[in-house]
Amino acid sequence: MEAAPYYEDVADAPPGGQAWWCNTRDGMRIRVAVWPVPEGIATQGTVLLFPGRTEYIEKYGPSARAYASQGFATLTLDWRGQGLTARAMEDRRLGHVIDFAEYQTDLAAALDLARALDLPRPRFLVAHSMGGCIGLRALHEGLDVRAVAFSAPMWGMQMETWERPLAWLSALAAPLPPIGRKLTPRTDLDHALYADPFEGNDLTTDRAMWDFMRAQLDTYPDLTLGGPTIRWLRAALFETRALRRLAPPNLPALTFLGTGERIVEPGPVKRLMRRWPGGRLELIEGAEHEIMMERAPVRDRFHAESAQLFLTHR
C-alpha cells in the first residue's frame, strides 16, 4: 500500500483525505482515496462512491463532505483509463477498455484497501452514470452493501434512432484492428468541460459547479479525459444490454434522474426502477446529467435523501 497524489487544494473535501496506489490482479495500478468521518461525529458506516466516465477522485470532495456530516466515511477511486490511474492508450485523452469486467477488477482492489484500512461498516453504494453500470454489475456479483443510491445511471446510452444501428455496427467491427482503438464518432478528444461552453452544456445547469470542475482540470490537466474508443463503446453496449435483462437486486435503492438528461438513456432507468423491489425513482425537473454537481437544491436533496436511506437501513 503506497501513498498516491491527492489534490486536496481543489477537492473542497472533508479533512483527513488520503489516496493510495492499489495493484489489481491483472497488473494495473489504480488510485483509491478515502475521506474519514471527522472527529466529533458519530460513525454510521462507509459510502462506496463509484464515479462516472471521465471522472476522478477530487471531483467528489463536496459529496464526501456532505456524507461526512452525516457520519459516513467515503471511499472512491479512479477507474482504469481515467484520473491518475494508468491509461491504456498512447494518447491519454482516449478512454479505453476491452471489457467492462475490467472495472470489477479495479473494484476488487479498492475493496482490498477498504479491508486493510478497516473502514467502518456497514457499507452503502452511491454510483453515478458509468459508475451506475459498474455498480449494478457489482451488486449482481454480491457486493456487500445495505442500500444503493444511483445518480443518472448508465443502463443505456442516449442516441438518435438512426445512430443506434450504426453504433452496433461499429461495436461489432471493434475487434478488428485498428478500428477498436479509434475515437467513437461524435465525441471529442477534449474533456466535455473544454469541448463545449457552459451555455447549452448537457452536464449541469449550475454555473458555479461547472466552474468548480473546470478549475480542477485547469489546475491539474493530468486529470482530463476525452471521448472513448470504439472498443469501449462495444463493451458498454454489451454490458448495458446484459444488465437490462437481469432481475434487479433485492435491496433498497434510490435513483435520481433529471428531466433534462441527454447523456444516459432515461427509458431503461425508468423501466428497471419500476421492477426494482424497494426501489424509488425521483425525476428532478430541469436537472441535467450531473445530479451531484447540479444547482444546490438538487445536489443537497440527493445527498440528504441518500444519507437518510442509508441511516434507515443501517
Q: Model confidence over 219-272: pLDDT tens digits? A: 999 999 999 999 999 999 999 999 999 999 999 999 999 999 999 999 999 999
List, for residues 195-223, the tens digit of each pLDDT value.
999 999 999 999 999 999 999 999 999 99
B/e letters for 83-102, b = 16+ CB within 10 Å, e = fewer, are bbbbbbeeeebbbbbeebeb
Place of cell 482504469: 80
pLDDT, tens digit (0-9, with 9 covering 90-100), for 32-52: 999 999 999 999 999 999 999
**CA 240/CA 53 separation, integer angstroms:** 14
Place of cell 444519507: 307
The yes-or-no verdict on residue 273 having pLDDT over 90 is yes
| Cis check: omega of the bond before 249, within 30 degrees of 0 | no
- Would you call 1 helix, strand, or coil by DSSP? coil
pLDDT at residue 290, as a whole number: 98
Position 1 scores a pLDDT of 77
* Separation CA 228–CA 97 (nearest Å): 9
Cβ–Cβ under 8 Å, residues 98 and 231: yes
Q: What is the mean pLDDT of residues 291-301?
A: 98
Residue 170: predicted pLDDT = 87
Task: Provide the grid cell at 236.
Answer: 458498454
Nearest-angstrom CA–CA distance, 314 and 145: 10
Mean pLDDT of the chain: 97
Mean pLDDT of 61-85: 98
- The model's confidence at residue 186, banded by pLDDT at 50, 70 and 90, is confident
Query: Which CATH number does 2-312 carry?
Result: 3.40.50.1820
Query: What would the pLDDT profile of 120-148 be if each residue is shown by its tens digit?
Result: 999 999 999 999 999 999 999 999 999 99
pLDDT for position 119:
98
The x, y and z cell numbers of residue 206, run together, are 449550475
pLDDT given at position 244: 98
Residue with cell 461547472: 210
5-17 per-position pLDDT tens digit? 999 999 999 999 9
Name the band, by pLDDT with cuts 50, 70 and 90, for residue 185: confident
Per-residue pLDDT reduced to its tens digit, 81-93: 999 999 999 999 9
% of the chain surpassing 90 pLDDT: 95
Distance, CA of 155 to CA of 252 (rounded, Å): 18
Q: What is the pTM of this model?
A: 0.98
